[in-house]
Amino acid sequence: MRIDGSGTLRASCVLCPNPGPMTLEGTNTWILREPGARGVVVVDPGPHDERHLERVARTVQEQGAQVQMTVVTHRHPDHSEGARYFAELTGAPVHAVDPQVRVGGRGLSDGDTLEADGLVVTVVATPGHTDDSVCLLVGSDNAILTGDTILGHGTTVIDGDDGLGAYMDSLYRLRDIVRERGVRTLLPGHGPILTSPAETLDTYITHRESRLAQVLDAVNTGATQVDEVVDRVYPEVDEQIRFAAASSVRAQLRYLASRGELPAGIEE
C-alpha cells in the first residue's frame, strides 16, 4: 500500500513521518499542479516537522515549480501546525477557514475558487470532523481532497458534541457531488487514496447510521453514562483511543437528542 508519491495527474502526496492511532500512516501533504505549469498549491503542510516541511518545499523546487499558496483543510495540529514555518520557507500565503491558522492568507468559504497557473480548485464546506473542515474539488482530475472528513481507512472522529448532524449532512453532500461530478478519486488527509468514491461514501453513511442504532439500543437497554455506552458499542476499543470513542458517543447522543429520540436522564 504505497501512500508517499501516490496521487493523480495533478496531485502528489508527500507523507509526513508522524504515524499514530489518530494519524494512521501519517499526515498526507498534497502538492497540486497543473501538468507543465509552474504554480503549485500545497494542501495541509502537516505538523511542525522541519524535515518534512523542507522535503515538501524541496520536492516543489525539484519540479521546477513554485508554491503560490498553501491551503489547510482544518485546524488540527497534524495538518496545520507547520503552516507558519512552511510559509517562511516558501513565501506563500496560507489560506484557511480558521483565522488562527492563516499566515498572510484569507478565509475559505463554500464555493470559493482557488486558481494557480491554470489549476482550479473549488472549496466545499464539510463541517463535522471540525466546524472549520473543508474538502477541495479538483474538477479537472475528477478528484476530491477530503482532509479528515473521509480517511483512507477507518472512520473519522467527530470533534465536538454538536458535530454529528453537520457531519452527516457533509457526507450526504459529498455523495451527491461524487455522483453529479463523476468524481473517481478521493485523496484523504490520512491513509491511501480511494478509487471507489461512491462506495466509500455509502459505507461511511451506513456505518454512522448503524452506530446510531447501536447507541440507541445501548440506551434503551439501560446505559445512562457515556462510558457505559462506549463499553457496549465499542467493547474492543484500544485504551489509547478510548477518548475518541467517547467523543463520538457524545456526538451521537446529542444528535439523537436533537431528533427527540433520546430518553430523559441520559448523560450527553
CA distance 13 to 43: 10
> Are the beta carbons of 157 and 248 closer than 8 angstroms?
yes
Is 112 annotated in the active site? no
For cell 478528484, the residue is: 143
CA distance 6 to 192: 8
Is 218 exposed, middle or buried, given 0-12, 13-18 or 19+ CB atoms closer than 10 A?
A: buried
CA distance 103 to 93: 6
Written as one string, the DSSP assignment of 12-47 is EEEE-S--BTTTBT-BEEEEE--TT-SEEEEE---S
CA distance 91 to 106: 15
CA distance 9 to 97: 27
Question: Residue 95 forms beta bridges with which residues?
Answer: 71
Q: Which of 49, 78, 132, 141 is catalytic?
A: 78
Per-residue cell: 102: 492563516
> Are the beta carbons of 108 and 123 closer than 8 angstroms?
yes
> Are the beta carbons of 231 and 191 closer than 8 angstroms?
no
Residues in contact with 21: Cβ distance below 8 Å, sequence separation at least 6, in sequence order: 238, 240, 241
Report, as residue numbers or ranges, the catalytic residues: 78
